[in-house]
């Protein structure tokens, strides 16, 4: 309890207080109340970065869902032996060091990397091409990195799903699409929501992937905040930015949970 208060709650409060202070020289602060940091955070320049981060996080979440659902479905319907193998195969990259994984992607698409070289030998392009340093690469990196966060909760949901319901649906004349949309999706909603939260939250504040795969071209919230702390030494402004980031996350979570609860109450009468 003391620990949680000392290392979780207190630092959070301090960040909030910092965000209302003035920046001093050399990373210091001056105790003077101001809301200038927030005004600056809503500058057009930073709003754009914010918009880009939101867009990328949303795109990552949706694509993880789109790809993760089939994977989880295969996991849930596989035989015991096969499932264990697939689970281990899924967990190995998941547990592999984050820096190593991101580096592997960088290497794959680098000038010296196999794609660049194979392209040369096949005559697609004549000189080494650097594929990293683009928005697409950052998205691809996020997708492969966060996929297990989506697949595992979905798998847990699908594992509990009673597949004879699909048969019942079919017998009662539901098309495959209807069966999927009206039976499978509503009953695995819990996994979909958990997975989306687990992907969206870290994706929004991601630093390492855009930093390594985006080069200097891709600037997202995570990079902006880190820069304020490490390079600019403007801690109050960095704090203000992170408070804004936090608010977006909390707002997102509350919205999702609200929608979910509404759906729950909507679904109930149908079930009876």
Partner 1 sequence: MERSRPSPPWFVQSITALTFLILYVPLAVLVIYSFVLIDPSSGQTLFSFECYSQALQDDELRKALNMSLWVGLWSTLGASILGTATAWALDRFSFPGKQWLDALTLVPLVIPEIVMALSLLIWFVLLKFSLGSVSIILAHITFSFSYVVITVRTRLADFDHSLEEAALDLGATPTQTFWRVSFPLIWPGILSGALMAFTLSFDDFLITFFTAGVGSDTLPIKLYSMIKYGISPKINALSTLILLSTIVMVVFAFRPKKIGSRQSESLKALG
How remote is the C-alpha of 113 from its chain's centroid? 27
Q: How many residues at the interface with partner 1, by CB under 8 A? A: 73
Binding flag, residue 88, partner 1 (CB under 8 A) = yes
Binding flag, residue 121, partner 1 (CB under 8 A) = no
Q: Within 32-61, which residues bind partner 1 (CB under 8 A)?
A: none
Binding flag, residue 118, partner 1 (CB under 8 A) = no
Helix (H) or strand (E) holding 224: helix 221-230
Q: Which residue has the tokens 């009206």?
A: 182
Given candidates 229, 232, 233, 256, which one binds partner 1 under the rule CB under 8 A? 229
Stretch that binds partner 1, among 42-50, 156-164, 185-193, 258-266 (CB under 8 A): 156-164
Cα separation values, 164 from 83, 167, 169, Å: 20, 5, 9
Give the closest residue to 210 by CA, choosing from 5, 39, 56: 56
Given candidates 97, 121, 126, 265, which one binds partner 1 under the rule CB under 8 A? 97
- In the shown chain, the binding pattern of residues 244 to 263 toward partner 1, with x for contact by CB under 8 A and - for none, equals -xx--x---x----------
Binding flag, residue 191, partner 1 (CB under 8 A) = no
Given candidates 103, 187, 227, 233, which one binds partner 1 under the rule CB under 8 A? 103
The beta strand positions in the chain, using DSSP E, are: 22-23, 29-30
Give the closest residue to 158 by CA, choosing from 192, 182, 181: 192
Stretch that binds partner 1, among 32-40, 44-52, 207-215, 258-266 (CB under 8 A): 207-215
Q: Determine how β-strand 29-30 pairs with β-strand 22-23.
A: antiparallel
């Amino acid at each position: 309890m003391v620990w949680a208060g000392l290392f979780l709650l207190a630092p959070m409060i301090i960040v909030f207080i910092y965000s209302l202070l003035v920046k001093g020289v050399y990373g210091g602060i001056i105790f003077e109340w101001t809301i200038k940091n927030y005004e600056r955070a809503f500058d057009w320049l930073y709003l754009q970065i914010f918009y880009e981060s939101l867009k990328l996080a949303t795109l990552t979440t949706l694509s993880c869902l789109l790809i993760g659902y089939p994977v989880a479905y295969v996991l849930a319907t596989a035989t015991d032996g096969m499932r264990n193998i697939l689970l281990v195969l899924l967990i190995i990259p998941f547990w592999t060091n984050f820096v190593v994984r991101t580096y592997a992607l960088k290497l794959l698409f680098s000038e010296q990397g196999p794609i660049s070289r194979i392209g040369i030998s096949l005559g697609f392009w004549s000189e080494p091409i650097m594929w990293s340093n683009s928005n697409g690469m950052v998205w691809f990196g996020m997708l492969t990195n966060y996929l297990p966060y989506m697949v595992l909760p979905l798998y847990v949901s699908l594992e509990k799903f009673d597949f004879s319901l699909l048969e019942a649906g079919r017998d009662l004349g539901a098309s495959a699409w209807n069966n999927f949309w009206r039976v499978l999706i509503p009953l695995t909603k819990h996994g979909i929501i958990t997975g989306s939260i687990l992907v969206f939250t870290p994706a929004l504040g991601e630093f390492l992937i855009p930093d390594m795969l985006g080069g200097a071209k891709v600037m997202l919230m995570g990079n902006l905040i880190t820069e304020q702390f490490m390079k600019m030494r403007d801690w109050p402004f960095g704090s203000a930015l992170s408070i804004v980031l936090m608010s977006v996350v909390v707002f997102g979570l509350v919205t999702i949970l609200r929608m979910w609860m509404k759906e729950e109450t909507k679904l109930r009468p149908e079930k009876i």
